[in-house]
Amino acid sequence: MNCDQMKEELLAMEAGQLDEDEAREAQIHLLNCSTCLEEQRIIKETWAVLSVLGPVPSSSDFRVRFWERASAPSLNIWRFGWQALAGFLGIWIAGVSIGFFLFWHSPYGRSALESKIQWHEARASSFLEDVYFRRDRRDRI
């Protein structure tokens, strides 16, 4: 058992939910691992504090209000859905804008694009020269 698995088992262990084999394996790990032993100490302390506090009393109409809310038709979902969509789009547009701005002002942005444009311009103008002077492009090779 590794420490990640152990962290999952610790809560179950404190709640007495491990079977005999699992509990034995966990005990063996705790004997050899100070990190998990410390984790177990913290969990034990937390349980102790919680048991001192006792259950939190709920208001008398809690059940009624809970079921009212749980069974109420969820009319507001679309409103929040649109808000979420608008927020997402806003963030996306801002991100793309910032990304383009940073790219454009980076050494790769403008100069790379400009050199591409220059290359196409050179090709286009040599093609036009050939057409204008009726030169055959194959002669130039």
Q: Write out the residues near Zn ion by the rule CB under 5 A.
A: 3, 6, 33, 35-36
Return the structure tokens found at 138.
């194959």
Q: How far is the CB of 96 from Zn ion (least distance, A)?
A: 45
Q: Give CA 119 to chain center in angstroms.
A: 41
10 burial via Cβ count (<10 Å: 0-12, 13-18, 19+): buried
Question: With respect to Zn ion, which residue has the nearer C-beta, 5 or 58?
Answer: 5
Q: How far is the CB of 18 from Zn ion (least distance, A)?
A: 15
Question: With respect to Zn ion, which residue has the nearer C-beta, 18 or 130?
Answer: 18
d(CA 23, CA 15): 12
Q: How far is the CB of 22 from Zn ion (least distance, A)?
A: 15
